[in-house]
Amino acid sequence: MYHPLNFSFKMIDNIKNACLEDDIRDPDILEALHNPPSEEVHLNGITKLSITLFMALITYPQEAYDKVRGALEGHEIPLILDSYYIVKKKIERNTGVTKIETDMCCNSCVAFTGPVTIAAGTPPYFSLFTSISPLLPSLGLLLSLLGLTALRHSLLLLSPLL
């Protein structure tokens, strides 16, 4: 294990040198974070209705959205809404708010970063049956970068004034 002072310095170095690419592997999410939308988004009526319905059912499972969508499509005047996946992606793309999944210790240790990764002594991955099986994360932690996204948008809006 590390001496407390060495541990602190290593953690400070990790924080100083941290970048989004350290934990975010999805190139689409990285692109969206580095280049958030800067122009006003114009939505058609169906997309607006799809998003309104999606937001109204946000605390329900995807199945609820799909059933309401199916009911509207089966009406005598069919209304074809965007799929759950398409609405979710449009919201992510237009707001920059997305969830990010990162691997974590199988003992639910959230601080499985930097020097603690090795010190924890618990592998973040397990192999299914053989050494040729791909490594799978033991557990995943979902993050939402709402604060980071909001800060980025605020800075973009304020930059002409500074």
pLDDT tens per residue across span 91-134: 887 777 777 666 665 555 555 555 555 555 555 555 444 455 45
pLDDT higher than threshold 60 for residue 150: no
The pLDDT-based confidence of 73 (bands split at 50, 70, 90) is confident
Question: Residue 11: which residues within 8 A CB-CB, separation 6 or more?
Answer: 114, 115
Residue 91 confidence (pLDDT)? 82
pTM for this one?
Answer: 0.52
**Contact at 8 Å (CB) between 4 and 10?**
no
Strands 99-104 and 139-144: antiparallel
12 token code pair: 């400070």
pLDDT higher than threshold 70 for residue 161: no
DSSP the chain: ---HHHHHHHHHHHHHT--GGGT---HHHHHHHHS---S-----HHHHHHHHHHHHTTTS-HHHHHHHHHHHHTSSS---PPPHHHHHHHHHHHH---EEEEEE-TT--S---TTHHHHT-S-SEEESSSTTSPEEESEEEEEE-HHHHHHHHHHHHHGGG-
Residue 119 confidence (pLDDT)? 54
Beta bridge partners of 135: 127
Neighbouring C-beta atoms of residue 41, cutoff 10 Å: 10
> Which of 7-21, 32-46, 69-83, 104-118 holds the top average pLDDT?
69-83
8-32: average pLDDT: 78
Single-letter residue type at 110: V
Residue 29 sits at the vertex; the CA angle it makes with 95 and 98, to the nearest 5 degrees, is 45
